[in-house]
Amino acid sequence: MEVQIKMITIDAISIPPQFEDINPFFNITPTKANCFLIVTVGMPGPTPNITVSSITDNASGGTNLYQQVPGAYSFVNGGDGEIFSFDIWYCSNSKANGTQLTANLSATSNTQIVVYQLYGLNLGESPEAAVGISNGSFTGLLTYSTPPITTSAFSSFIVVVGDASWGFANVALPWSGLPDANGNYFSTTTAYLITDGPGTYTPTWQTQNTNNYAMSGASFQGDQILAFDTTPGTNIGWSVE
């Protein structure tokens, strides 16, 4: 029996914070029809526990339908003044020509987002698994493994977003991080992994001496019959605003 290989292609754009707003908007790579969109949201304080009530865009025929990943919300309210909130939203079957995305927040924030546009995931499906760890703690380690995500699918796309008191610096292979265009990591750090089988997957970060962190993560199911090429797409980019 011939095994077909189905390529998963990733377009990703990391958009740094531009201003503080309760309804921040972002210029994004134009969405295409029939794709899977994932949006990670990082919201620094000073207000603790900021939440996202909705995400909209200006796609043709009306906004794409974005939904929050249940169980993915997280926050860190560190005693050292580190205050961040995180969330993950998704659209399971996109419309074309969305070029501006707006997030509606519970308080003003200098928000940062990353938008993943994926070809090859099963359209119309809900997230397979999620994790949200708030006010996690570790001290004096150069590397640290944040909470695992378990998937039963043949192939999945897993994304994480979070922050530590002194900032995650880099993520270890086989995970892929998204620094900015100059190779620097924001205090809000995101990474992704394309899996090649069921299992438990844990991102490991290089970090500094720290004591508080938060991490949001979600797994999205790929095709369970066809194999996936685990090589990321080449169209990874960053905002130049």
Per-position pLDDT tens, the chain of length 241: 333 333 455 666 666 666 788 999 888 888 889 888 999 998 988 899 999 999 999 999 999 999 999 999 999 887 656 788 999 999 999 999 999 999 999 999 988 888 888 876 777 788 989 999 898 877 666 777 888 899 887 778 899 988 876 666 678 888 887 765 555 555 567 888 888 788 999 988 877 666 678 899 999 987 543 333 333 333 333 322 2
One-letter amino acid for residue 61 of the chain: G
Give the three-class secondary structure for 197.
Answer: coil
Cβ(107)–Cβ(45) below 8 Å: no
> What gap in Å lies between CA 102 and CA 115, rounded to an integer?
12
Q: Strand 235-238 vs strand 9-15: parallel, antiparallel, or unpaired?
A: parallel
Helices (H), 105-234: none
Say if residue 77 is exposed, middle or buried (CB neighbours under 10 Å; 0-12, 13-18, 19+): middle
DSSP state of 5: E
Task: Give the distance from CA 66 to its chain's centroid.
Answer: 14
Residue 158 main-chain phi, psi, to 5 deg: -110, 135
Instruction: Name residue, tokens 């519970």.
Output: 106
> What gap in Å lies between CA 50 and CA 134, rounded to an integer?
13
Instruction: Name residue, tokens 């200098």.
Output: 110
Contacts of 234 (CB under 8 A, 6+ apart): none
Residue 156's pLDDT is: 83
Contacts of 182 (CB under 8 A, 6+ apart): none
> How many degrees, rounded to 5, is the angle at CA 180 between CA 176 and CA 181?
110
In the sheet that 213-221 helps form, which strands lie side by side, from edge to edge? 129-136, 213-221, 156-164, 189-194, 176-177
CA-based nearest residue to 198, from 230, 158, 157, 154: 154
> What gap in Å lies between CA 241 and CA 239, rounded to an integer?
6
Residue 114's pLDDT is: 84
> What gap in Å lies between CA 82 and CA 75, rounded to an integer?
10
Q: Strand 5-7 vs strand 227-229: parallel, antiparallel, or unpaired?
A: parallel
Q: Quick one: which H or E segment has residue 59?
A: none
Residue 210's pLDDT is: 63
Residue 184's pLDDT is: 55
